[in-house]
């Protein structure tokens, strides 16, 4: 009966990456800068924020305005005249017809009036149309000479500009970290997928060997069942790894819009060393001095204090220089009645220059209320700064410890790879000698793949936590990605 030998596992060959990669981290970062909508939104918001300082300066500059109006008005009015009453005319005409002499009619006329007869009456004799055109042009200039509130607003705007700059730098560092995390998650998921496939292939070979040994009568059916169970479990592992890889790739595509052609793999000789400077408290000092969130909170508290002064300054008087030129032209039209203001064009020009002083006396308690409101917000901003400093210090300590632990994990995982490989080879030898069974071989094989997974996970955790440590300390920059790029192939 022929003795069948199980396949020999050379772990170094099994663990080499099989996918070809093209683009490095620095190049992918440039793609992300061009394609990520979140980053473009951050830049546009930063552009908008930069206008706040311009707007605050504008409050201290002169305001010049021009206004022009052209108004045309028309009216249609009846012409009213005074005439003798028809009854009087009839009385007078009767007298003239009877006497033929007007001097003889004075007595009848006086008697007519004495009897209450109407001598005169109003009579409408048509209507008069009139149109008027008024052209009004004015040029005004106002220059603030003394305005404490606006002056303090400009000082606050300068502080807010510093806060917005810190917030933008914080967003940029978060973007750098997000790109790096997405990049290395794809590499990690790809390696785990390769491990899962190779583990499945190795177990498949064991299953085939078990079946052949059973058919040859060398081993029992138990080995076949154990190998089949391990193979079925490895299939589940492949499915999980494929799902993780697809998810990591989709996450990267949201940043680059799928423009990357491929990714460069991490070199095996990538150095894993303890962070410098040594000591968590040194990193805490760096973070409290340069962390962008702390700086933003600091400038925010400073701006809130400045706002208290700004609101209180509303009690102060304001002084403005004012100047104006106005011209009014009036034309009443050709059909205007004689003696009215029209028939001729009227042209009036008025020049004004002076100093305007405004003294606020009472605003219903609004100014004092706003000052109290700003004071409470300033206290809240100071407390927010304290909280941000504490959170940042804790992050610096925890992240520093994480990096140190990652260094230890990488070192131990390397040892575990060598140990598991030796254990697998010894188990295989024992299996061939008959002192170990197939279950022992499968377990040793799982341990070998698990050690490599742990090593891969520890290396990528070290990279990401190192970048996070730089971010929390406030010193994460694009050049850090370029340095990492040198260790990709």
Residue 460 CA, chain-centre distance (Å), reads 30
At 127 the pLDDT is 64
Three-state DSSP state, 365: coil
342, 133 contact by CB (below 8 A):
no
pLDDT tens-digit series, residues 248-265: 999 999 999 988 888 889
Query: Rounded distance, CA 344 to CA 332, Å?
Result: 7
End-to-end CA distance of the chain: 49
The whole-angstrom separation of Cα 485 and Cα 361 is 67
In this structure, what are the phi and psi dihedrals at residue 101, rounded to the nearest 5 degrees? -135, 125
CATH 1.20.1600.10, applies to 11-60+147-317+363-485: yes
Residue 23 has φ and ψ, to the nearest 5°, of -100, 140
How high is the mean pLDDT of the chain?
Answer: 85
Nearest to 77 by CA among 340, 395, 281, 296: 340
Q: For residue 4, is pLDDT > 60? A: no
Q: What letter does residue 16 receive in the DSSP assignment?
A: S
Least confident of 108-122, 220-234, 411-425: 108-122
Contacts of 76 (CB under 8 A, 6+ apart): 127, 128, 129, 130
Domain boundaries, the chain: 11-60+147-317+363-485, 79-134
Tell me the average pLDDT across 21-34.
84
pLDDT per residue as tens digits for the range 38-79 = 999 999 999 999 999 899 999 899 999 999 998 888 777 666
Instruction: Give the pLDDT score at 19.
Output: 40
User: What is the per-residue burial (b if ≥16 Cβ within 10 Å, else e) of 325-339?
Assistant: eeeeebbbeeebeee
Instruction: Using the predicted structure, report yes or no on whether residue 341 has a pLDDT greater than 60.
Output: no
pLDDT band, very low/low/confident/very high, at 103 (cuts 50, 70, 90) = low
pLDDT at 339 over 60: no
Place of tokens 């850090």: 480
Query: DSSP string spanning 168-189?
Result: HHHHHHHHHHHHHHHHHHHHHH
Least confident of 125-134, 181-190, 444-453: 125-134
What does the pLDDT look like over 351-409, one tens digit per residue? 999 999 999 999 899 999 999 999 999 999 999 999 999 999 999 999 999 999 999 99
Report the C-alpha gap between 383 and 376 in whole angstroms: 11
Q: In the prediction, which pLDDT does 99 show?
A: 73
């Amino acid at each position: 009966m022929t003795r069948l030998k199980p396949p020999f596992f050379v772990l170094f060959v099994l663990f080499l990456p099989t996918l070809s990669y093209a683009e490095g981290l620095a190049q992918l970062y440039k793609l992300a800068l061009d394609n990520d909508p979140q980053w473009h939104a951050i830049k546009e918001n930063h552009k908008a924020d930069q206008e706040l300082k311009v707007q605050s300066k504008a409050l201290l500059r002169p305001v010049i305005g021009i206004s022009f109006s052209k108004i045309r008005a028309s009216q249609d009015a009846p012409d009213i005249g005074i005439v003798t009453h028809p009854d009087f005319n009839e009385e007078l005409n009767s007298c003239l017809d009877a006497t033929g002499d007007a001097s003889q009619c004075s007595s009848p006329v006086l008697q007519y009036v004495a009897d209450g007869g109407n001598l005169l009456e109003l009579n409408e004799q048509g209507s008069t149309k009139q149109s008027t055109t008024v052209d009004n042009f004015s040029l005004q200039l106002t220059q603030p000479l003394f305005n404490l509130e606006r002056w303090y607003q400009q000082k606050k705007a300068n502080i807010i500009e510093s806060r917005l700059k810190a917030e933008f730098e914080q967003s940029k560092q978060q973007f750098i970290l997000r790109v790096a995390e997405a990049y290395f998650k794809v590499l990690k998921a790809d390696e785990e997928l390769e491990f899962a496939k190779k583990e499945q292939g190795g177990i498949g070979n064991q299953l085939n060997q078990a079946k052949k040994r059973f058919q040859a009568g060398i081993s029992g059916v138990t080995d076949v069942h154990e190998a089949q169970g391990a193979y079925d479990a490895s299939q589940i592992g492949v499915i999980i790894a494929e799902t993780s890889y697809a998810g990591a790739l989709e996450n990267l595509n949201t940043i680059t819009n799928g423009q990357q052609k491929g990714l460069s793999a991490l070199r095996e000789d990538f150095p894993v060393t303890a962070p410098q400077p040594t000591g968590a408290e040194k990193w805490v000092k760096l973070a409290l001095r340069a962390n962008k969130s702390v700086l933003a909170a600091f400038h925010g508290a400073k701006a809130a204090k400045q706002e208290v002064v700004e609101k209180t300054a509303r009690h102060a008087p304001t002084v403005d220089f004012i100047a104006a030129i106005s011209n009014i032209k009036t034309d009443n039209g050709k059909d205007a009645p004689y003696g009215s203001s029209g028939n001729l064009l009227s042209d009036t020009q008025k020049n004004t220059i002076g100093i305007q002083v405004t003294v606020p006396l009472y605003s219903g308690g609004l100014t004092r209320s706003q000052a109290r409101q700003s004071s409470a917000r300033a206290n809240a901003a100071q407390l927010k700064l304290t909280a941000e400093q504490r959170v940042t210090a804790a992050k610096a300590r925890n992240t520093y410890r994480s990096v140190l632990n990652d260094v230890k994990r990488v070192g131990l995982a390397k040892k575990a790879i060598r140990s598991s490989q030796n254990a697998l080879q010894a188990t295989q030898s024992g299996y061939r000698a008959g002192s170990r069974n197939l279950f022992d071989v499968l377990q040793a094989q799982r341990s070998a793949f698990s050690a490599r997974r742990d090593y891969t996970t520890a290396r990528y955790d070290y990279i990401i936590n190192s970048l996070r440590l730089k971010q929390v300390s406030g010193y994460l920059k694009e050049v850090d990605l370029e340095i990492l790029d040198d260790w990709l192939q």
